[in-house]
Structure 1
Amino acid sequence: MTTDEQTYRIIGAAMTVHRALGSGFLEAVYQEALELELIALNIPHHREKALPILYRGTPLQAFYKADFVCFDTTIVELKALKQLSGVEEAQVINYLKASGLNKALLLNFGASSLQHKRLVFNLRESAQSADNHE
């Protein structure tokens, strides 16, 4: 299964949840419903998975707790906001940087229709560009 197929399956599960519940619930409600949908669709996942934050290769005591990690490769971050502001996207990019994973989905259930954004972070390119500025 390709990465795009995995992404589409996760977004499809989220759309099913949003169609059933609509907007207006707390994030925790969508998280519980999405887990039931992921199970029904046999999408491998970990709910509230602790991800270590690495600093120069050393894990810190602080960690990030992902709403979901699906397929052991993709952070899935849920929001229940009327509108995403861009702060949420920056937050997810920081989670990717810190965790060492490079793919994430930001899902917002708070709008009238499901909002979703796929984020990819290439650590190697970012490290090289940072090295070039020194």
Structure 2
Amino acid sequence: MTENELSTHIVDCAVEVHRNLGGPGLLESVYEESLAWELSQRGFAVGRQMAVPVTYKGHQLSVPLRLDLLVGNMVVVEVKAVTQYNQIFESQALTYLRMLNLKLALVINFGEKLVKNGIHRVVNGL
């Protein structure tokens, strides 16, 4: 399965989660856990709150970054639940992609009335 094919399943799961939880208004952690559960129920491998080591000039820093979800070891998913979307979320996702040498991330903002309007693709050489 390619990154693009996997992203279609992730989006389907995000819509299902948003619908079942009643839309926006909950904490980010609720959406994250629900999305991870929905994906795993559909047979996808999901890592949550994965540590991403940060190296500065050859020195590994003691505090890693944490990405929300890694699906199928191919697609990074950053979960947000905000009323004001900020494009810095996409920059952060691109940083994760570069650090992990991956190609696709989805920033999913569950704070939108329609979650499909809150899905942003971020690519790294895809």
What is the TM-score normalised by the length of structure 2? 0.86
Higher relative contact order (CA 8 A, sep 6+): 2
Q: Give the deviation of 1:6 after TM superposition.
A: 0.4
Match of 1:111 in 2: 112
Match of 2:31 in 1: 30
- Taking structure 1 as reference, are residues 105 and 57 closer, same or farther at Cα in structure 2, changes over 3 Å only? farther
Q: How many pairs are equivalent?
A: 122
- Secondary structure of the structure 1 residue equivalent to 2:62: strand
What is the TM-score normalised by the length of structure 1? 0.81
**Larger-gyration structure (1/2):** 1
- Taking structure 1 as reference, are residues 93 and 108 closer, same or farther at Cα in structure 2, changes over 3 Å only? same
Identity fraction in percent: 35
Alignment deviations for residues 19-78 of structure 1 (CA, whole Å, 9 cap, x no partner): 111110010110111122012111111111112224466643331111111111211100
Q: 2:28 matched to 1:47? A: no
Could you list the runs of 5+ residues in structure 2 that have no partner in the other structure?
Answer: none
- Secondary structure of the structure 1 residue equivalent to 2:53: strand
What is the CA–CA distance in structure 1 between the aligned matches of 2:56 and 2:102, rounded to whole Å?
14
Q: 2:18 matched to 1:11? A: no
